[in-house]
Amino acid sequence: MVENIEFQPRLNQTKVRDGFWDYFQKLILEQVIPYQEKILRDEIPEIEKSHVIENFRIAAGLSKGDFYGMVFQDSDLAKWMEAVSNAIAISDDSWFRTKAAEMIDLIGKAQEEDGYLDTYFQIKAPDKKWTDLLEAHELYCMGHMIEATVANYEATGKDDFLKIGKKIADCIGRRFGKEAGKKRGIPGHPEIEIALLRLYHATGERRYLENAEYFINERGTEPNYFEEEAERRDITIFGMDPKDRGYAQNNKPVRELTEATGHAVRAAYLYTAMADLAADLHDEALQAACERLWNNIVNQKMYITGGIGSTVHGEAFTIPYDLPNDTIYAETCASVAMVFFAREMLQMNPSGRYADVMEKELYNTVLSGMQHDGTRFFYVNPLEVDPSVSGKVPGYEHVLPERPQWYACACCPPNVSRCITALSKYAWGENENTIYAHLYVGGTFASSCIPGVSIDVESGYPWKGNVRYTIGENKENREFTLAVRIPAWARNAAAILRIRNGEEETSQNVSMEESLRDGYLYLNGLTHVGDCVEICFEMPVRRIYANPKVRKDAGLVAIARGPIVYALEERDNGAELYALSLPDSAKLETEEVKDPVLGSYVRITADGYRDISNGEGLYSEKKPETAGQTLTFVPYYLWGNRGSGEMRVWVRDV
Amino acid sequence: MVENIEFQPRLNQTKVRDGFWDYFQKLILEQVIPYQEKILRDEIPEIEKSHVIENFRIAAGLSKGDFYGMVFQDSDLAKWMEAVSNAIAISDDSWFRTKAAEMIDLIGKAQEEDGYLDTYFQIKAPDKKWTDLLEAHELYCMGHMIEATVANYEATGKDDFLKIGKKIADCIGRRFGKEAGKKRGIPGHPEIEIALLRLYHATGERRYLENAEYFINERGTEPNYFEEEAERRDITIFGMDPKDRGYAQNNKPVRELTEATGHAVRAAYLYTAMADLAADLHDEALQAACERLWNNIVNQKMYITGGIGSTVHGEAFTIPYDLPNDTIYAETCASVAMVFFAREMLQMNPSGRYADVMEKELYNTVLSGMQHDGTRFFYVNPLEVDPSVSGKVPGYEHVLPERPQWYACACCPPNVSRCITALSKYAWGENENTIYAHLYVGGTFASSCIPGVSIDVESGYPWKGNVRYTIGENKENREFTLAVRIPAWARNAAAILRIRNGEEETSQNVSMEESLRDGYLYLNGLTHVGDCVEICFEMPVRRIYANPKVRKDAGLVAIARGPIVYALEERDNGAELYALSLPDSAKLETEEVKDPVLGSYVRITADGYRDISNGEGLYSEKKPETAGQTLTFVPYYLWGNRGSGEMRVWVRDV
């Protein structure tokens, strides 16, 4: 194992031209990134103040004042800069370069001589730097900034911003490690590990990998670093309990971990870095730990939408099969993190089960995090919302029936921006023999491992089960394998190779039995420009049932089609959605819809029932009567775009 | 309305000899009260220290030390003393008189010259008395002590303890009121109002009624007393928000209240006092408010078991139809309080709907509060428990799968003791024309309003639907009406009067149509010793469905028989109770059982199904298969007596 490493492309190797994703990338580029910049600059008066640019200006000596915002406020700018850097790679609009240059200048001025960059401590408590790694998010903020610098370098080829990132990393590397003169330390919120590994991949400088390895290996060791630190430090930020080792994934050395615990975003960021390091070091024990954690999440702790984190208390995982739909957390950032984790697992082992989950996250809970017009965002992605309790009644306060505009803690919106702009990284992979198509995203991929080869993709996905991969270029007539993922839920998948041999074109049915391995269709013979493979599969509406061990889904059924999970909304079905039921025998009809608010999508309808109230009292010996009602399902990612109302994914199966 | 007032009997007018209740009363007298005394005296080492007797000894100058315990620790002794006083009334055992005398002596010594009695402030903060009515529970503790003194007076006819109660009440009366020189004030936790009205009834001294009236009428008026107080005071105990007016039922003047809000026990104690005052004053506006609040609770905010308080956050009511079964609060004390509220509503209006609820509370959530051996107690009475989350996972920590031994906050156990020992007060009522039998409790009732009359009752209730009321004495040959409640769920109820006329006995079928009004069967002609009425009704197992507006009960059915709600337990049905379902067509079989742990009860079984897991994964297109399984239901009040395990009341209806 850990042999057949596959690499993520740089974004500028690719171009997305896709009937589904174009809308979202354009939205991010044209609306979300500029809008978020205004927020970062405090130019939108009705929105909670960000102050992050001003914090950097104060740290740079360009302005006077106090730090304002969360202790991790810096990361808002860093994640925005990563999205802008992605935008430079995928867009011709010079606005992004101009904006990036301005910010790089500011960030450079804010950075201290030794590379340290965290405006909270620079402004507020310069003498307390590095004293509260559990809570203070210094390594987290600097990690995000390093990621942004790497993204910028990959997009532009220029290293002005990368130098800032390297300076940060070197500052960290000089301080933390096992070598004489260095200090012990691990971050309360994993992120620096991902960043240092990205920096290593971009620069090839091994010290960054070694520093990431240090942080990963040090985690969960004795004595508990956070307890040691808590005894020394004289500041406190959130009052976190340093003894709560599971919350911050500090309970065991990483290679011994068997169960996903604690804060879901922290967990998935750590596992992402672990998987990346396992690939870099060909570390089978680390890969095995990642595999255990993956299975624990996917087989016991994940909502059907891809959401993770069952409880608001610590925004955390709970126990296996505990998946409440209405008091759920399922943070948007945690789904973004699962995309990262899946992508790193694919790197070592191209198995469809990773890509299927990655796709599920992207088409459901990553997109549901954002209003369809890009102006508002969900933190929490519930599977059941009732505005009479959601957002109001104790225990439900965090579950909102409508996306709010912006949060004081604004981690999710820029995470969606950087994830969707980097879509091609998740869609494609390659090594010197093989090009991997993990997702069906229309556009072009130009290989860097197999020189001169580019592939064009056309697809009606996710609404239609057909996709065509065509050789766009192959300057050196290289032979290679194209590995295309076939989703596990696809029915009657078939593929036809159309190969040009001079003037002649031969068509050839691909034998699924021979070519499909672990969810990937391995195709050879695509060599000449114009050679293509046409893949098609049926995409019937699927009824999905939870394992009977999931207490909260007993007797319920969910609807999905392709990668899209569906939901009932009050807008289409009236209030009291819990009174609806779907008979086993009901035919599920599909219809293509163009909606001014929701865009184009496939709507699903079925003849169902509604329980009718017998009167005002609470309990009756008379069973509620039912009336026929058409049930209308819309894609989950579109919910909450038409005003406040009820929503639910699971419906009673009768 | 508010015309036909009916009075509660004193306990020594009655004798319970009942196949069901004898066990529980004996348990309270022989086990619980002596056991609780040992706890109050800190003589049981493995149990959390109470210190309450020691607090009184310190306040009395008999011991040295600090106050220990909750700010309302005094009320543990007061409620225990009320139970002991009830025990004196219903038992011949002199132990209770001896114990009461000891405690009365101690309590008298602890009381200050002016009548003040609250050991927390006497020991800890004598200069802070009366400064934190919102949080400090002074009026609550003194109210409970007054109640105990009244109970003692009623049981013994001696006024040594009553004098202490009157001294307390006079101390309060001198301080609080609208008259010149008195201060404004209302209690954070209603209770004093109930106590002062009981004291008024026992003594006929109108100033106590007037003081209760003051506290009731002052509540919810402007300006908010608790905010005024918070500005002045320099202590804080729980950090409660004085602006949260709903929590402490301080949101509106009481006659304007329309919705039950806030802490459920506080609410029901207040409504109890309001109903009692409405009866005393023939206050129709106050009665109407009580009626609105009653309907709001019973028709929108009550569990099928009688539990109230949907959320642990503030142990409070939430919104209509919000009745989660597994994150529920449903405090035992709140069900005791609903017994009180129902009893006061009956006083003004003998309607079966009040008595039906009172009965539901007593046979379900009051009894479920206590282990069947009397040694352990539930605070929270859930309708669904899964030990993998209950008591563990955030949001479920308060829901325990087994009764703990004792609580630091021990309000519930002594409340169960005083409620069950006072059972006859809820079972009987009377005025100069009519004797009311609200509950079917076997034994004897000697009227105080209709001199010389006593009635004997025999009953197989709650397991059998038959009961006989026989004239035991009628020394003056009085004519009177016997009003016997017929539960709303009773089927084919019939009654036969057997009247002796000299040697002859005539039997006469009672016309239900003519004699049954608002849930009560009004019977005349029972005059001679031995005259009796035999009432019988069918008690089939009932399937009960929630209003479809109850989101958490959609598609579910509950089982009841007579007043008893039933539950599934893991012990009888295996784990994963949520995988079970009950077909509409299944026959519900009953069986009388004698169990060494659970005692005698009627068990219900039915042929149901269990969903079978398809494998390890979370989601599948394959609907879970089902296997036949016998479902075994036990009375809800018996749950949790056979070790830790799952329990649920609502089962899937298929």
pLDDT digits (tens, 9 = 90+) for A2-12: 556 889 999 99
Residue A4 has a pLDDT of 63
Q: Considering only CB atoms, which chain B residues are within 8 Å of A623?
A: 543, 545, 557, 584, 653
SS3 label, residue B547: coil
Q: Considering only CB atoms, which chain A residues are within 8 Å of B262?
A: none
Q: Using the structure block, give the residue that is written with the tokens 């990431």.
A: A212
Q: Is position B503 annotated as part of the catalytic site?
A: no
Most A CBs within 10 A among B392, B551, B625, hence the mutation to make, goes to: B551
pLDDT in tens, B338-393: 999 999 999 999 999 999 999 999 999 999 999 999 989 999 999 999 999 988 88
Kindly state the percentage of chain B with pLDDT values over 70. 99
Kindly state the percentage of chain A with pLDDT values over 70. 99
Residue A404 has a pLDDT of 85
Mean pLDDT of all residues in B225-244: 94
User: Under a CB-based contact definition with an 8 Å cutoff, are residues A272 and A354 in contact?
Assistant: no
Q: Do B619 and A544 touch (CB under 8 A)?
A: yes
What the block records as the tokens of B155 is: 């049981």
User: Under a CB-based contact definition with an 8 Å cutoff, are residues B521 and B474 in contact?
Assistant: no
Residues 451-510 of B with CB under 8 A from A: 489
Q: Do A394 and B620 touch (CB under 8 A)?
A: no
Q: Check whether B407 has a pLDDT greater than 70.
A: no
Mean pLDDT of all residues in A181-196: 97
Residue B91 has a pLDDT of 96
Q: Do B579 and A548 touch (CB under 8 A)?
A: yes
pLDDT in tens, B127-159: 999 999 999 999 999 999 999 999 999 999 999
What the block records as the tokens of A98 is: 């101009």
Q: What is the mean pLDDT of chain B?
A: 95
pTM to 2 decimals? 0.94
How many other β-carbons are positioned within 10 Å of the β-carbon of residue A295?
15
Q: Considering only CB atoms, which chain B residues are within 8 Å of A304?
A: 618-619
pLDDT in tens, A540-593: 999 999 999 999 999 999 999 999 999 999 999 999 999 999 999 999 999 999
Burial of A472 (0-12, 13-18, 19+ CB in 10 A): middle
pLDDT in tens, B504-545: 889 999 999 999 999 999 999 999 999 999 999 999 999 999
Mean pLDDT of all residues in B183-198: 98
Q: Do B548 and A620 touch (CB under 8 A)?
A: no
User: Under a CB-based contact definition with an 8 Å cutoff, are residues A33 and A80 in contact?
Assistant: yes
What the block records as the tokens of B152 is: 């003692």
Q: Check whether A1 has a pLDDT greater than 60.
A: no
Residue B201 has a pLDDT of 96
By the CB < 8 Å criterion, does A524 face chain B?
no
Q: Check whether B308 has a pLDDT greater than 80.
A: yes
Mean pLDDT of all residues in A497-513: 89
Q: Please tell me the distance from the alpha carbon of residue A210 to that of residue A280, in angstroms, as a whole number.
A: 11
pLDDT in tens, A355-381: 999 999 999 999 999 999 998 999 999
SS3 label, residue B277: helix
Q: Do B319 and A388 touch (CB under 8 A)?
A: yes
User: Given B314, B395, B542, which is nearest A621 (Cβ)?
Assistant: B542
Phi, psi of B225 (to 5 degrees): -55, -40
pLDDT in tens, A581-591: 999 999 999 99
Q: How far is CA B359 from CA A47, A448, B291, B462, in A?
A: 55, 79, 18, 10
Kindly state the percentage of chain A with pLDDT values over 90. 93
Distance from CA of A299 to the nearest CA of B (A): 5
By the CB < 8 Å criterion, does B393 face chain A?
yes
Q: Check whether B72 has a pLDDT greater than 70.
A: yes
Residue A45 has a pLDDT of 84
Residue B353 has a pLDDT of 97
Residue A2 has a pLDDT of 53
Q: Check whether A614 has a pLDDT greater than 90.
A: no
User: Under a CB-based contact definition with an 8 Å cutoff, are residues B411 and B333 in contact?
Assistant: yes
User: Under a CB-based contact definition with an 8 Å cutoff, are residues B521 and B484 in contact?
Assistant: yes
Residue B404 has a pLDDT of 85
Beta partners for B619?
A546
pLDDT in tens, A101-129: 999 999 999 999 999 999 999 999 999 99
ipTM over 0.90: yes
Q: Using the structure block, give the residue that is written with the tokens 């009428």.
A: B217
Q: Amino acid letter at B80?
A: W
Mean pLDDT of all residues in B268-290: 97
What the block records as the tokens of A573 is: 């079905």
Q: Do A395 and B393 touch (CB under 8 A)?
A: no
Residue B405 has a pLDDT of 78
**Cβ neighbours of residue B423 under 8 Å, at least 6 residues apart?**
B16, B21, B25, B362, B439, B441
By the CB < 8 Å criterion, does B314 face chain A?
yes
What the block records as the tokens of B423 is: 């059972």
Nearest to B19 by CA among B460, B426, B455, B425: B460
Kindly state the percentage of chain B with pLDDT values over 90. 93
> Which pLDDT band, with edges at 50, 70 and 90, does B5 fall under?
confident
> Which pLDDT band, with edges at 50, 70 and 90, does A44 fall under?
confident
pLDDT in tens, B409-436: 577 888 999 999 999 999 999 999 999 9
Residue B317 has a pLDDT of 97
Q: What is the mean pLDDT of chain A?
A: 95
Residues 153-212 of B with CB under 8 A from A: none
> Which pLDDT band, with edges at 50, 70 and 90, does B4 fall under?
low
Q: Considering only CB atoms, which chain B residues are within 8 Å of A616?
A: 299, 547
Mean pLDDT of all residues in B228-241: 93
DSSP states of A424-454: HHHHEEE-SSEEEE-S---EEEE-SSSTTEE
Q: Looking at B315, B331, B458, B569, which residue is catalytic?
A: B315
User: Under a CB-based contact definition with an 8 Å cutoff, are residues B163 and B112 in contact?
Assistant: no
> Which pLDDT band, with edges at 50, 70 and 90, does B620 fall under?
very high
Residue of B nearest to A315 (CA): B394
Residue A279 has a pLDDT of 95
Q: Considering only CB atoms, which chain A residues are within 8 Å of B554?
A: 578-579, 611, 652
Nearest to A162 by CA among A176, A143, A175, A147: A147
pLDDT in tens, A406-448: 665 577 888 999 999 999 999 999 999 999 999 999 999 999 9
Distance from CA of B555 to the nearest CA of A (A): 7
Mean pLDDT of all residues in B463-489: 96
Q: Is position B411 annotated as part of the catalytic site?
A: yes
